[in-house]
Structure 1
Amino acid sequence: MIRATINRTKSGSIQSFTISGHAGFAAHGSDIVCAGVSTISIGTVNSIIGLTGVTPDIEQGADGFLRCEIPDNLPVETQEKIQLLLESMVITLQSMEKDYGKYIKLTFKQ
């Protein structure tokens, strides 16, 4: 199962997210759930970098591990753009969880 944890600040902003695991929906190379989550999460990170010029603290590892943390003290306009991209990622992952809940689980922490 893929586990995605979204970490929010007390004010509700997304500070970081972590994704790990494999869906197990299909054989390696044919797993649409793994491919979808990878595309969504890496696409979000690439969009943050490409559209805002901000490079988050990123860590990647084995078993589908990805951690992304947004830097503190960004200008308000930049932070708003990043939050829009991150909230879009969350909505898309929630849609996947709704359809493929046996293979992906989202958790929210504050």
Structure 2
Amino acid sequence: MIDAVIYRNDSGLIQSFSISGHAFFAKRGKDIVCAGVSAIAVGTINAIHEITGVTPEIENGEGLLRCVIPGNLPAQEHDRIQILLEGMYYSLKTIEEEYGKHIRITFKNQEVE
């Protein structure tokens, strides 16, 4: 199962997300759930960079994608990033509604580092 965890701060804003695991919907290379989730997540990160010029902190490995939005951003960039991240959530939610046995979205409070 794919676990998508979205971390929000105390104000409810998305600060980071992580996506891990495998959908196991179909064989490797034919798994539409995995492909859809990957396209949404990577597309969101690319859109953040291209639209705002902000480069999120990324960790990428076998079955893992983690993205952290930098702190202390100007309000305009922060607002645009939030719209993109909320769009990502709703896109993932659509996949979860159809393929809930293969993806789970959870929310957590952002831990202070």
Structure 2 unaligned blocks of 5 or more: none
1:32 positional shift: 0.1
1:5 positional shift: 0.2
Number of the residue aligned with 1:95: 94
Residue 15 of structure 2 corresponds to residue 15 of structure 1: yes
Deviations along 1:26-80, whole A, 9 cap, x unmatched?
Answer: 00000000000000000000000000000000000112x0000000000000000
Q: Distance in 1 between matches of 2:62 and 2:77?
A: 31
Query: Pairwise mapping of residues 35-46 of structure 1 onto structure 2 (< 5 A)?
Result: 35-46=35-46
Structure 1 runs (4+) greater than 4 angstroms displaced? none
AA matched with 2:27: A
Query: Pairwise mapping of residues 72-91 of structure 1 onto structure 2 (< 5 A)?
Result: 72-91=71-90
SS in 2 for 1:40: helix
How many residues are paired up? 109
AA matched with 1:36: G
How high is the sequence identity, in percent, across the aligned residues?
58
Deviations along 1:68-103, whole A, 9 cap, x unmatched?
Answer: 000000000000000000000000101110000000
Aligned-pair Cα RMSD in Å = 0.4
Q: Distance in 1 between matches of 2:39 and 2:52?
A: 19
Structure 1 unaligned blocks of 5 or more: none
TM-score (norm 1): 0.98
SS in 1 for 2:18: strand
SS in 2 for 1:5: strand
Q: Distance in 1 between matches of 2:38 and 2:96?
A: 14
TM-score (norm 2): 0.96
